[in-house]
Amino acid sequence: MNNLPDFINEFSEARRNAFIKIKELKDEGKKIVGVYCGFAPWEVIAASDAVAAWLCGMDEEPIEYAEKDLPRNLCPLIKSSYGYAISEKCPFYYFSDMLLGETTCDGKKKMYELLKKKKPMHVMQLPQTPYGKASYDYYRASIVELKETLENQFNVEITEEKLKEKISLKNRERQALRNYYGLSKLCPPPMTGYDLRKVIQGTLYIADKEKEINDIYSIIDETMKNYNNGIRPVSPSSKRILVTGCPLGDSTEKVITAIESNGGVVVCYENCSGAKDESLLVDETKNPIDALTERYLRTACACMSPNDNRLEYLSYLVDEYKVDGVVDVVLQACHTYNVEATTIQNFITTKKDKPYMKIETDYSTTDIGQLNTRIQAFIEML
């Protein structure tokens, strides 16, 4: 029996199912920490016996609420996240005992100033460059401060043993996901980019990591069983596309749909909450705070300057996944990724000799026709 659709649907419905699960966890006495970014060290939160709940809004619905306080020409992710909070339409926010932010961009920093009036808020201070001892010490101190805040907030002790335990668990999750999306190195890939994203995105909302890890390996087994039996959902002639840039949410699935309905297939995501979140493991042989500092400081985010880690990782992905073209998705008013797009374009077209396309979009559906036209022309050129 082919169980693959059931496993995929479980990850696809993870966010909706988590609405119920988060209330159950709250009723059981669990503490909930709402997080907004991949710079938030999951291992520290988990070591406090709290549950990390992903709060980033990635659709258009709550933006009208946000624009009562925030400017219209602000990043849609920030407006969506804030709108969900003030309208209390997001169960994850509603049940959160504490919010955890990070200084990745100016818009988020100012949003946190508004949110801290509504719930307890801790903001992790990030350095502006990932290089040098000063940046290392600064970020390490920020992790220690988070640890102490969680201990005080929830009256717990975060021991070195607990940190090591959660580091090991998170590493196993990262490795499972790397094994899964690594299947897309096959030609043709054994799954569409749409299904690939469903699984990666779904992991953000699953609290039971042991079950999640087992389910990922079940998906891998079922996927390869189908593939070896000749079930190939992707045409061998499909052009292999790498998607990079800002975080992708439900509203930006329109980009994936346009790619995969016009002769392409997304084989890899280098976006926030995509493959790069799982690309780095935490060194389990070192002091856990030091190891977490090293790992998270290498996050290839455009808030860092210079962001050479992103170029290094893109180079690896282009080669490893036999990419035909790169699509850079930039959310409107995300100035860091928008400015960095010039560097990415030069690197992809000059150093990697691959076609590049930048798409600037938001969470609305008004540009779907234009997207299809542009992406169709791009893929035909390949």
- Model confidence pLDDT, tens digit, residues 91-119: 999 999 999 999 999 999 999 999 999 99
Quickly count: other Cβ atoms within 10 Å of residue 266's Cβ: 24
Instruction: With a cut of 60, say whether residue 1 has pLDDT above it.
Output: no
d(CA 274, CA 203): 11
Q: Structure pTM?
A: 0.95
Banded model confidence at residue 9, pLDDT cuts 50, 70, 90 = confident
Q: How far is Cα of residue 322 from the mean position of the Cα atoms in its chain?
A: 22
d(CA 295, CA 10): 30
φ/ψ of residue 28, rounded to 5? -80, -5
Quickly count: other Cβ atoms within 10 Å of residue 140's Cβ: 17
Region 161-187: mean pLDDT is: 96
Q: Which residues of 89-127 are buried (b: 16+ CB within 10 A; e: fewer)?
A: ebbbbbbbbbbbbbbbbebbeebbeebeeeeebbbbebb
Burial of 248 (0-12, 13-18, 19+ CB in 10 A): buried
Over residues 235-293, the pLDDT tens digits come to 999 999 999 999 887 778 899 999 999 999 999 999 987 777 777 899 999 999 999 99
- Of 119-123, 202-206, 283-287, 351-355, which gets the smallest average pLDDT? 202-206
- Of 7-21, 305-319, 338-352, which gets the smallest average pLDDT? 7-21
Predicted pLDDT at 2: 66
Tell me the domains of the chain and their CATH numbers. 1-382 (3.40.50.11900)
- Say whether the peptide bond before residue 62 is cis (omega within 30 degrees of 0): no
Region 119-128: mean pLDDT is: 96
| Cβ atoms of 48 and 158 closer than 8 Å | yes
Q: To the nearest 10°, report the CA torsion of 39, 270, 75, 206.
A: -60
Q: Locate tokens 């520290």: which residue?
A: 44
Predicted pLDDT at 229: 96
Q: How far is Cα of residue 172 from the mean position of the Cα atoms in its chain?
A: 17
Predicted pLDDT at 138: 98
Predicted pLDDT at 325: 98
Element at 84 (helix H, strand E): helix 76-87
Question: Could you give the percent of the chain with pLDDT greater than 70?
Answer: 99
Region 111-135: mean pLDDT is: 96
